[in-house]
Amino acid sequence: MVMLVLVTQIISAQQSQQDVEKKIDDIIKQLTLKEKVDMCHAQSKFSSPGVPRLGIPEIWMSDGPHGVRGEINWDNWGYAGWTNDSITAFPALTCLASTFNPDLAHQYGVAVGEEARYRRKDILLGPGVNIYRTPLNGRNFEYMGEDPYLASIMVVPYVQGVQENGVAACVKHYALNNQEEWRGHINVNVDDRTLHEIYLPAFKAAVTKGHVWSVMGAYNKYNGQHASHHEILVNKILKGDWGFDGVLVTDWGSAHDTKEAAYNGLDIEMGTWTNGLTFSANFAYDNYFLANPFYEMLKSGEIEESVVDDKVRRILRLMFRTNMNMERGLGRINNKEHHEVARKVATEGIVLMKNENNFFPINPEKEMTIAVIGENATKMMTIGGGSSELKAQYEISPLEGIKLRFTKATILHSMGYSSGPSAYGRVIPPHINQDSLYAAAIETAKKADIVLFVGGLNKNHHQDCEGGDRLTFELPFNQNALLKDIIAVNPNVGMVMVSGNAVAMPWLKDVKAMIQTWYLGSDAGYAIADVLSGDVNPSGKLPFSFPAKLNDNPAHYYGELSYPGDSIDQYYKEGILVGYRWHDTKKIKPLFAFGHGLSYSNFELNNIKTDKSTYSAGQTMKVSCDVANVGSLDGAEVVQVYVGKVKSKVDRAIKELKGFDKVQVVANDKQTVNISIDIDDLAYYCTEKGGWELEKGQYIVYVGTASDQIKKKIKISVE
């Protein structure tokens, strides 16, 4: 009976899709050539035209992926000044990735999709899945870390959650947009194997498993051609090999040529007063590459009309999924459930990096004096950062969260430094005297029992911000010196790091404890206080490696041609050895390893085994183990399974993440974890064959709780 119902549902869905395609055929026949072309380019900063004559609506887009951006003016980048566009700010995607919790990724997607739907958006411009290659990339905080498998697993439920609301997710930036420096023109040179094994898997998962309805092209070039209209990336891989049936949208101003855009798969051109960043006039949308120039080439026969018909077909298909879907809901915004999801993601994503002598958690019932030092204790982090900045209904600062939770304590606050106001594309110097802030912080530290230094980066230009990379690996605003002097007068210092990137930590050995908090959105202060007080036992794991020094990172190890390039070209000389793959294989010890994350409890992995020792292509390997919580607090642990090939005929990393599972275990109890890994996923990309090849022979399965915390190695064979 169940099988009959399932078959009926599949047939019904197929018939429904056939009906939609027939309707699209009928609409295309009724459209004029000019109406078709108009649908392929912007009419305002965040919308593309419909066809009022036929009742076809406009498409409205909004920046994401951490929330729905405040309403922007029709034809400039000023905010429209609406009073009803405040939203829930969700944690940045680095935090979501740190949860290692796909169920939470789905809840996140549903919630942010509901808010987009309430704001009447048809496309939410996110999530971002570009790989963390260098800790200087200004947009790393928007992405899901350095590992393609982790990003692939986390992006699918996010996409599905957003699209359950009749809102298209738009996975970005396709592809190889791994830095902001010279992003508009830098030509990335990377071998095919690295492209397919490292930089494409998360996009592929979003398309083939998440069935994402739209994709955003990148600014940069790949092998000499702009990514947003690329013969290989778009026609061959995205729309060919992966069968993407949705809409490819430019990043704003990333189109550069009418014929390339026409023939290489670009569907909607969006921009910024521009036809490829060269034309500057108000209401210049008819001058876009896919506007009047496209229309003239179609009229003359230089471009066949079937080319524009394919674009319009995709756009109409997206409309039937979104704004012409009469069954989609109305959405919700700023409701209790959304804030609960945001807070849950924030608390699960916070990573306990160091905890000497159980410095954390701090007893909230104890009377004491706590000095909260650092500008990040009060600086709003939902604003700034570029296109992902948000107009949050509220934002609880770390200082406010600490004050609300530690009511028995005397809370002192001192800024210590000032970074100046946030501004896109430029740095505005602070107006406050830095020396006086510095001196006041030292005096505040002397008066306290413990110090919580809330520092790190922020979303100003040249930090965690679109449009420019960081200029240094060090903490800005003299924080290293300030920390050193605070520790000299009060050694009881706990570091609360707010950033989306790894930073240099010359003070690490001298602080008692440290948590990595990311950018946590509306409920940031609540979530931080939850973890500091022990109300929540931390369970986050790092989604990227923290190198001890910048040149330990593979992109920087090979010099300027590797990063940032010579302003024209750059070369990914490290190949597939990104992140922990590099540290493991080259035996360069990281400061903190991928997958690292402590707990207030203690866990042991026992009875680790595979279901058998020999496998064949097409089979599934099952890895199991018991996770025992031998501490006194309930908590969660992430079991991580890596696999490496012994004596491979090609260069490989020592090991690669192939499975993980997050499990909640009450104190003095245990849970059994079962992780399934498809043997076919152990294949490498063979450049000679242009496809995936599974090597026979011996492999090693590594099971542990971080890439450098392997508890057992198991040998298996693949026939």
What DSSP string describes 69-91?
Answer: PPPBPSSSSSB---SS--BPPPP
Q: Count H helices, E strands: the chain? A: 17, 26
CB 401 within 8 A of CB 529: yes
Which token pair is 381?
């982090």
- Decide: 652 and 698 in contact? Cβ < 8 Å: no
Rg for the chain (alpha carbons), in Å? Answer: 26
CA distances from 266 to 204, 227, 438, 486 (A): 18, 10, 52, 55
Q: Is 251 assigned a catalytic role?
A: yes
Beta bridge partners of 62: 124
186: confidence class by pLDDT, cuts 50, 70, 90? very high
Six token digits for residue 40: 């392929």
Q: Are 118 and 331 in contact (CB under 8 A)?
A: yes
Give me the pLDDT at residue 548, please.
Answer: 98
Please tell me the pTM assigned to this model.
0.96
pLDDT of residue 282: 73
Q: How far apart are CA 527 and CA 529, in angstroms?
A: 5
Q: How far apart, in whole angstroms, are the C-alpha atoms of residue 699 and residue 679?
A: 11
Mean pLDDT computed over 327-350: 97
Phi, psi of 203 (to 5 degrees): -65, -45
The pLDDT confidence band at residue 4, using thresholds 50, 70 and 90, is very low
* Tokens coding 669: 């109890």
Cα(151)–Cα(618) distance, rounded to whole angstroms? 23
What is the distance between the alpha carbons of residues 93 and 173, in angstroms, rounded to a whole number? 14
Two tokens at 420?
A: 């100046």
Percentage of the chain surpassing pLDDT 90? 94
Q: Is the pLDDT of residue 10 over 70?
A: no
Report the candidate in 31, 115, 10 with the shortest Cα–Cα distance to residue 319. Answer: 31
Q: How confident is the model at residue 636 (pLDDT cuts 50, 70, 90)?
A: very high
Give the pLDDT score at 478. 97
Helix axes 2-30, 305-321, angle to 10 degrees: 130
Identity (one letter) of the amino acid at 353? M
Q: Is the CB of residue 638 less than 8 Å from the CB of residue 595? A: yes
Tell me the average pLDDT across 573-602.
98
For domain 21-321, say whether CATH 3.20.20.300 is its number. yes
Whether the Cβ atoms of residue 149 and residue 198 lie closer than 8 Å to each other: no
- Look at residue 597 in the predicted model and tell me its pLDDT: 98
Question: How many other CB atoms are found less than 10 A from the CB of residue 20?
Answer: 17
Q: Give the model's pLDDT for residue 76.
A: 85
Residue 187, exposed/middle/buried by CB under 10 A (0-12, 13-18, 19+)? buried
Residue 166, token pair as written in the block: 């009749």
- 122-135 in b/e form (b: 16+ CB < 10 A) is bbbbbbbbbbbbbb
Question: Is the pLDDT score of 224 beyond 50?
Answer: yes
CATH 3.90.550.10, applies to 350-544: no
Q: Under 8 Å CB-to-CB from 324, ≥6 apart: which residues?
A: 56, 57, 316
- 3-state SS, residue 250: coil
- The pLDDT, as a whole number, for residue 278 is 54
Contacts of 20 (CB under 8 A, 6+ apart): 317, 320
Q: For position 284, what pLDDT does the model report?
A: 87
Q: Rounded to an integer, what distance in angstroms lies between the CA atom of residue 382 and that of residue 90?
A: 9
Whether residue 403 has pLDDT greater than 90 = yes
d(CA 389, CA 406): 30
Q: What are phi and psi of 684, to 5 degrees?
A: -110, 160
Q: 147, 251, 464, 661: which one is catalytic?
A: 251
Strand partners, 692: 685
pLDDT in tens, 688-708: 999 999 999 999 999 999 999
Place of tokens 């991580």: 640
Domain ranges of the chain: 21-321, 350-544, 601-718
Superfamily of domain 601-718: Immunoglobulins (2.60.40.10)
pLDDT of residue 7: 47
Which pLDDT score is estimated for 283? 72
d(C-alpha 362, C-alpha 351), whole Å: 16
Q: Which of 387, 408, 490, 503 is nearest to 446 (CA)?
A: 490
Q: What value does the mean pLDDT take over residues 116-145? A: 98
Region 464-493: mean pLDDT is 98
Sorting pLDDT into bands at 50, 70 and 90, what band is 274? low
Is the pLDDT at 13 greater than 70? The verdict is no
Residue 272, pLDDT > 90, answer: no
**Among 111-125, 415-429, 642-656, which stretch is predicted with the lowest mean pLDDT?**
415-429
More confident residue, 15 or 231: 231
Determine the Cα–Cα distance for residues 639 and 573; give it in Å rounded to an integer.
31
Phi, psi of 101 (to 5 degrees): -130, 95
For the segment 349-375, the average pLDDT, to the nearest whole number, is: 98
Q: What is the phi-psi region of residue 131: left when phi exceeds 0, alpha when psi lies from -120 to 50, beta otherwise?
A: beta
Q: Which amino acid belongs to residue 535?
A: D
The overall average pLDDT reported for the chain is 96
CA distances from 590 to 141, 407, 475 (A): 20, 38, 18
CB 568 within 8 A of CB 224: no
